[in-house]
Amino acid sequence: MSVKSLIRQIQAYNPDAEVELLERCYRFAQEAHEGQKRKSGEPYFTHCVKTAAILVELHLDTHTICAGLMHDVLEDTGITREELQVRFGANIANLVEGVTKIGQYRPSVGSPTTNTPITVEDRVHRKRQAETYRKLLLATAEDMRVILIKLADRLHNMETLKFLTSEKCQRIAKETLEIYAPIAHRLGIWRIMGRLEDLAFKHLYPAEYRKIADLLNQKLTEREAYCDKMVKQIRGVLEKRGVYADVHGRTKHIYSIYQKMQQKGTPFSEIRDLVGLRVLVKTEPDCYTALGALHHKWNYHPDRLRDWIGQPKKNGYQSLHTTILDDGKPVEVQIRSYQMHKVAEDGIAAHWSYKEGVPTSRQGRSIFASYKQILEDIQETQDSPHQFVESMKLELFQDEVYVFSPKGDLFKLPAGATVIDFAYKIHTDIGHTCVGAEVNGSIAPIRRVLENGDQVNIRTQSNGKPSRSWLPHVKTATARGKIRHWFREKDRADALELGKKFLEGELRAFYLNARDYLNSPELLNIAKQLKLKSLEELFVRIGNGDESAIQVVNLLKPEMPKPETETTEAVKPERKPESAAIQLENNIDLGMMRIMKCCNPIPGDPVVGYLTRGRGVSVHRAGCIRILEEPERLLAVKWLEKSMSENGDHPPDVYPVKILVECSDRPGMLGEITTAIAQYKVNIRCGTFQPSTVHLDATAADNLTIDVTGAEQLDKVMEAIRRLKGVQRVLRLS
């Protein structure tokens, strides 16, 4: 498409478009991508023009279209953001930069199954994926046009996806179906959403796509003839009522047919709404007049009647939906005004000012405000990468249910939301103290899934508090984030108390009075050495297992004689190693090397050597606070592979490691823990089992010393214990 053709299309809806600016951006992007080719063999610049053309279809402002033309120059050329700002202004430069940030990572979107082990690569992919979506949320919240450009970019990429490798096609198609198509839905941009879904479906499930497409084509002539008949009948009925309308047929998207077949188990031959009818009228009152006329002429399904005009969806969608029966055959009909239709097709873009580049109508601002609030709620969550992505999907991409408070106030929640979600929607304190509810006048549990029209009265108790068991039953990021925040604060208090107890115990082992040291300037200095702001932070880190109480005590009173049980001599493995476990880099020999018990490194741990005065090299875990004062004495060391005996049958060397397991004190719990450990052929050297006095939801604290071959085996054992039902946390203590 030439620049003149593009400008003509823009001027058709925006006569005051900045033509000179458009021409400069067009030429600049063309020159920046000169010589670059797409996988299809086409000049890369054709993609930029197609992206801009999709934005023109949405009637967007000049700056957005200019940014669409240049959306890849920061990522794929040597152009800098500063140069863009100098040439075209901060507004366009910010839009291009926002799109670039979203696309910097290429994450995998597959969700792992419970039977699939999570590899390091999986964790990296999830972290990158979550970071990508966080960037998307931030960029979108700052300027909605960023996501509109990204949707246009993604749509054209999907239209040319066949030129990529099969693996890349699958990755991009899945990301499109799980993330970008639902974002288009949330913003109400149906014309882009439907195309994205069908294109992604075509690449992800080619056999199913071809099967449905072939079935649709088999009776296409028959369906078109029936559709024409119904159009004429409906138009005649409405004209008699004085309502003049455009009536036309609409074909379901292939992916929506597939979803219906999958979700409801309906075979293709029994799907009766492959072709629906759409009635467009001038005004809102005409919509209701038309609905009455249709219901007077034909019987209808009362349970399929939907009034999205009186209660618009979050994305601004408004329409009346009904299903009439023509000789027993169901026919779906949508009735809406021309303005409602524009909103239904273009979503928030229908409310856009092509002069100012912002939503102008009250409805447009409401859509943007609602969407931005969702983004802010998700952004506040501190979940793991996988949980974060799932929260994003649930919040942005679910349909809504409408429920009422006892006073009649209307609340919108995602489909599947429970009483807990509703409680947190009203107020954080109500959510925290929620103990039950009345739904439609009847007592209901807080896990009750809410339905359209439910009236909900939350019951609270002053001493009520959240439970971790609520988390699987909430659907909103708001509720999940507030519950997790409550537990983070509670867990911090627990860790602080636990850290103090650990430190007190170690001080007593050194025959020191804990009261003299817990608030001493010396202890505060140690906290500062660790770059911590306060003693509280130090106690919390000790309680969480991030710092060793033994190391802190050693720094507090290094001149005091240590009890025999806490000497800093080397940890002796169960068998004498066949070869040295540790070696200095470059094979330098500085005499004796000792593995230190203060931090108890085991094979696989990151380690560092410390050159002592006259006692060789002591080996510590990286970050051990015993070696912070003299970094110039640090030496690079590495673990060596153990050589096997000639027949290769001797067992590997093992190292004792202390771990803490906090869990429920239920029958069989200890047996399950020991079984989880035993499956890795790990010996439990000793253990103490006692009630937990600090951690919420944990009634037992098990201190175990286990013999492991190294950090890799230790990680597997701890992860196996974490997966057990009732286990709250597992920490390495030494």
The domain spanning residue 666 has which CATH number?
A: 3.30.70.260
* The one catalytic residue among 42, 75, 224, 399: 75
Determine phi and psi for 17, rounding to 5 degrees.
-60, 145
317: left (phi over 0), alpha (psi -120 to 50) or beta: beta
Does one domain contain both 89 and 63? yes
Is there a single domain that holds both residue 608 and residue 664? Answer: no
Examine the domain organization and report whether 228 and 169 are in the same domain.
no
Where the chain has pLDDT below 70, the residues are 102-142, 264, 272-273, 314-315, 347-399, 509-511, 545, 557-581, 584-592, 613-615, 625-632, 641-651, 691-699
Give the up-direction half-sphere exposure of residue 416: CA atoms within 13 A in the CB hemisphere.
11
- Asked if 76 is an active-site residue, the reply is yes
Joined together, the tokens standing for residue 660 give: 């803490």
Of 610, 642, 674, at which residue does a domain stop? 642
- pLDDT attached to residue 46: 92
DSSP conformation class of 323: E
**What is the C-alpha to C-alpha distance for residues 620 and 608, in angstroms, rounded to an integer?**
6
* Residue 152 sits in the same domain as residue 259: no
Residues near 297 by beta carbon (within 8 Å), at least 6 away in sequence: 237, 324
For the record, the structure tokens of 730 come out as 């597992």
* Domain end residue (candidates: 331, 351, 371): 351
Give pLDDT tens digits for 527-547.
Answer: 887 788 888 888 888 877 677
- Considering the domain architecture, whether residues 584 and 675 belong to the same structural domain is answered as no
Do 276 and 296 share a domain, yes or no?
Answer: yes
Residue 393: HSE in the Cβ half-sphere, 13 Å Cα cutoff: 16
The angle formed by the CA atoms of residues 653, 654 and 657, to the nearest 5 degrees, is 155
| Structure token pair of residue 212 | 């449905």
The amino acid at residue 655 is Y
Phi, psi (degrees; rounded to nearest 5) at 256: -65, -35
Query: Which of 642, 664, 699 corresponds to the end of one domain?
Result: 642
Give the predicted TM-score (pTM) of the model: 0.53
**CA 730 – CA 702 distance, rounded (Å):** 10
- The C-alpha atoms of residue 526 and residue 608 are separated, in whole angstroms, by 20
Whole-number Cα distances in Å, 632 to 57, 529, 610: 64, 16, 9
Task: Tell me the DSSP string of 41-78.
Answer: SSBTHHHHHHHHHHHHHTT--HHHHHHHHTTTHHHHSS
Q: Is 89 helix (H, G, I), strand (E, B) or coil?
A: coil
Is residue 145 a contact partner of residue 67, using CB atoms and an 8 Å limit? yes
- Within this chain, do residues 271 and 332 fall inside the same structural domain, yes or no? yes
Is the domain of 235 the same as that of 330? Answer: yes
Same domain, 581 and 699: no
Residue in the block written with tokens 């925040």: 485
Instruction: Give yes or no: 75 in active site.
Output: yes
Q: Do 228 and 142 share a structural domain?
A: no
SS3 content of the chain, % helix, strand, coil (to 5): 50, 15, 35
Residue 619 in domain: yes
pLDDT at 579 (0 to 100) = 38
Give residue 602's Cα distance to chain centre.
35
User: What is the C-alpha to C-alpha distance for residues 646 and 633, in angstroms, rounded to an integer?
Assistant: 38
What is the 3 state secondary structure string of 456-489? EEEEECCCCCCCHHHHHHCCCHHHHHHHHHHHHH
Q: Is residue 127 part of a domain?
A: yes
Residue 442: inside a domain, yes or no?
no
Domain hosting 46: range is 3-212
User: What single-letter DSSP state applies at residue 252?
Assistant: P
Is residue 548 situated within a structural domain? no
Residue 393 lies in a domain: no
The CATH number of whichever domain residue 306 belongs to comes to: 3.30.460.10
CATH for 106:
1.10.3210.10
CA dist., res. 573 & res. 595, Å (int):
10
Task: State residue 615's pLDDT score.
Answer: 65
Q: What's the confidence (pLDDT) of residue 112?
A: 39
**Residue-level pLDDT at 560:** 46
484 neighbors 433 (Cβ within 8 angstroms): no
Q: Is residue 500 included in any domain, yes or no?
A: no
Report the number of distinct structural domains present in the chain: 4
Task: For residue 704, tell me if it sits in a domain.
Answer: yes
* 245 shares a domain with 123: no
Backbone angles phi, psi at 443, to 5 degrees: -60, 135
Residues 131, 233 share a domain: no
Q: What contacts 34, CB < 8 A, 6 or more positions away?
A: 45
The residue from 76, 356, 516, 630 that is catalytic is 76
* 405, part of any domain: no
